Structure 1
Amino acid sequence: MLIAQLSDPHLRPAGELYRGLVDSNAMFAAALDQLDRLDPQPDLVLLSGDLVEEGTEAEYAQAASLLARLRAPILAIPGNHDSRDGFRRCFAHHPHLPASGPLHFAADGFGPLRVLGLDVTVPGAHHGEMDAAAYAWLEARLAEQPGRPTLIMMHQPPFASGIPFIDPYRCHHGERLAAIVARHPSVERILCGNLHRFMQLRFAGTLLMTAPSTTTALALRLSPDAEPASYVEPPAMLLHHWRKETGLVTHLMPIGTFRGPLPFF
C-alpha cells in the first residue's frame, strides 16, 4: 500500500498569490503532477491541513478544481487556516466526514492500514487542542480494532520543535495524546503538518512525522530569539509505503523535475 501525504498548500483564489509573493496554486499543481508520474500510483492521498489560506469559498473552489484530477482517493483534515464549514462543503462528497462539529474520521476501506483523522483545530485560533472530547473519540476508535496497523493524521503536532516562533501554535495537551498512543502499539505513525518542514521523533512509543509544505518552508532558526521567516526551498511530500514483510517505510520525496535518470553507480 502506497500513501502520499501532502500538506499546507495554502491555496488562494485563482490568479492570487500566497501572501502576495508565492504562487501556491502552481506549486500545488506541480505536486499533483509529481503524483501523476508515480509508478505505481498511490493507493491513497492524505492532506494534513491548511488546504487554503483564508478559508474562503473562492479558495475552496480552487482547491476542488485542482484536486479533481487526482486518481487516488483523498482523506483530508483541516488546519488552522481552514474554515471547518468551508472545508466540509469542499469535501461534501466524502462520506467519512461528520456533518457537524470537529472533522474527526475513521477510514477503514482503503487497504491494510486504518487511518484516523484527528481534528485538533480551535476555530479562530492557530494552536491545536487535544481536549477531552478528542481524547474520548480517539480512545474509542483505537479500541475498536486494537490489532490493526493504524495511522493518526492531525494538523498541529503535539511537541515543541525548537523553532520559537512556531511552537506556540503546536497542539496543546499533547500528553493526553501520548497517554492514549502508549496504550495502543498498533499506531504505526502520527502524521502532522503545520510546521512546513520535515521533522521526525519518537513519541509515546511510535514515530511522529511532520510533512513539508508544498509551498514555503519555515526558516530553520533554533535561537530562542529568532525572527520569524520563511523560504522558498524545494518543496516535498512524504510517501508512506506499507509492505507486510517490512511494515511502514516513509520516504521524503522532493517535488520538481531533476536531472536523470543517470546510470546506476
Structure 2
Amino acid sequence: MILAQLTDTHIRSGRQVAYGRVDTCSMLENAITHINNFRPNVEAVIVTGDITDRGELEAFHLFREIINELVPPWYVVPGNHDSRENFLQAFKDCHYLNDSSDFIHYSIEDHPVRLIGFDTTVENKPYGFLTEERLLWLDNCLAEKTQETTILFQHHPPFFTGINHMDVQNLLNGKELIQLLTSHRQVQHVACGHVHRASETCIDGVGISIAPNAAHSTTLDLDPSGPSSFSMDPPAIRIFRVDAEGYLTSHLSYLGSFDGPHPYFSPDGKLVG
C-alpha cells in the first residue's frame, strides 16, 4: 500500500498569502497534482493538521475546494491552528468523523493498513496534550485489533527535534503516548506534523516521523536560543510504503520539476560513464 502524508497547509481565506510571502493555496495545488501523478498510485492521503492558518470557516471551505481535486481518498486530523468547531462544520459530511465527541479521533478500516487519526490539540494553545480520556480511547481502539498493521496520524510530535522554539510546543506528555504504544506492537509508525520539517526517530521501538512541508519550512536552527523563523526550502511530502508482510518504509518526495530521471546503464548494460 502507498500512502501520502500532507501537513500544515495553513490555508487562509480569500487565497491570502501566509506570513507575507507564502502562497499556501498554490503550493497545496502543486502537492495535489504531484500526488495524483505519483506511480504506483497513492491509495490514501492523510493531512495531519494546521489545515488553516487562522481557523476561519471560509479557509476550511477553500481547503475543501482544493483538496477535492485529489484522486485518492483523503482524511484530516486537526492541528493547533484549527478551530475545532469550524473543523467539524467544514467536514461534517466526512463519514469517519464523529461530532459527538470532545475530540476528533477515528479509525479507518477500508484499507490493507489500519489508519488511526488522533487529536492531540488543546483549544487555543500551540502545544499538544493527551488527557486520560484520550489515552484510554486510543488504548481501547488498539486493543480491538491487535494483529492489524496500524499507522497513527497526529499533529504534535512526541519527541524533541532540537529546534527549541518548536520543541516547547510539542506533545507535552509524549512519554505517556510512547509507553502506551509499547503495549501495542501492531502500530508500525506514528506520523506527525506541526514542525514544518522532516525529522525521524525511534523511541522504545516505536518509529516516529514528522512530515516535511509542501509550503514553508521551519528553519533548521539547532541553537537553543535560535529565533522562530521559516525558510522556503524545497517543498516535499512524505510517502509511506507498507508491503504485504506489514513492514513500513518512508520516503520524501520533492515537489517541482527536476532534471531526470537518467539511466545508470546504457542499452547494452554498461554503466554510463
TM-score, normalised relative to structure 1 = 0.96
Q: 2 CA distance for matches of 1:34 and 1:162?
A: 30
Equivalent position of 1:103 in the other structure: 104
Cα drift, residue 159 of structure 1 = 1.3
Q: 2 CA distance for matches of 1:186 and 1:15?
A: 41
Q: 1 CA distance for matches of 2:213 and 2:90?
A: 20
- Structure 1 stretch displaced more, 96-105 or 46-55: 96-105
Q: Structure 2 counterpart of 1:103, which letter?
A: I
- Structure 1 stretch displaced more, 243-252 or 18-27: 243-252
Percent identity (aligned): 30
Equivalent position of 2:12 in the other structure: 12
* Residue 211 of structure 2 corresponds to residue 211 of structure 1: yes
Equivalent position of 1:33 in the other structure: 33
Cα drift, residue 96 of structure 1 = 1.2
Give deviations 1:217-258, integer Å, cap 9, x for gaps: 101111111111110100100111111147111111111111
Equivalent position of 2:163 in the other structure: 163
CA RMSD of aligned residues (A): 1.2
SS in 1 for 2:168: helix
Q: Contact 2:97–2:105 (CA<8 Å) still a contact in 1?
A: yes
Q: Contact 1:54–1:81 (CA<8 Å) still a contact in 2?
A: yes
Q: Structure 2 counterpart of 1:113, which letter?
A: V
Q: 2 CA distance for matches of 1:217 and 1:118?
A: 23
User: How do 1:104-253 residues align onto structure 2 when only pairs under 5 Å count?
Assistant: 104-109=105-110, 111-245=111-245, 247-253=247-253
Q: 1 CA distance for matches of 2:92 and 2:246?
A: 36
Larger Rg: 2
Give deviations 1:116-164, integer Å, cap 9, x for gaps: 1110100010000021111100000010001111001110101121111
Q: Structure 2 counterpart of 1:179, which letter?
A: Q
Q: 2 CA distance for matches of 1:190 and 1:44?
A: 16
Q: Contact 1:131–1:173 (CA<8 Å) still a contact in 2?
A: no
Q: 1 CA distance for matches of 2:12 and 2:258?
A: 27
SS in 1 for 2:224: coil
Q: Structure 2 counterpart of 1:77, which letter?
A: V
Equivalent position of 2:270 in the other structure: none
SS in 2 for 1:172: coil
Equivalent position of 2:268 in the other structure: none
* Residue 79 of structure 2 corresponds to residue 59 of structure 1: no
Equivalent position of 1:47 in the other structure: 47
- Structure 1 stretch displaced more, 157-166 or 244-253: 244-253
Cα drift, residue 203 of structure 1 = 2.2
Q: 2 CA distance for matches of 1:138 and 1:48?
A: 17
What is the aligned residue count?
264
Q: 1 CA distance for matches of 2:150 and 2:157?
A: 17
Q: Contact 2:57–2:87 (CA<8 Å) still a contact in 1?
A: no
Q: 2 CA distance for matches of 1:160 and 1:15?
A: 33
- Structure 1 stretch displaced more, 19-28 or 241-250: 241-250
Q: 2 CA distance for matches of 1:175 and 1:246?
A: 25
Cα drift, residue 14 of structure 1 = 3.0
Cα drift, residue 214 of structure 1 = 1.2
Q: 2 CA distance for matches of 1:263 and 1:45?
A: 30
Q: 1 CA distance for matches of 2:264 and 2:13?
A: 43
Q: Contact 1:196–1:217 (CA<8 Å) still a contact in 2?
A: yes
Unpaired stretches in structure 2, ≥5 consecutive residues: 266-273
TM-score, normalised relative to structure 2 = 0.94
Equivalent position of 2:89 in the other structure: 89
Q: Contact 1:181–1:204 (CA<8 Å) still a contact in 2?
A: no
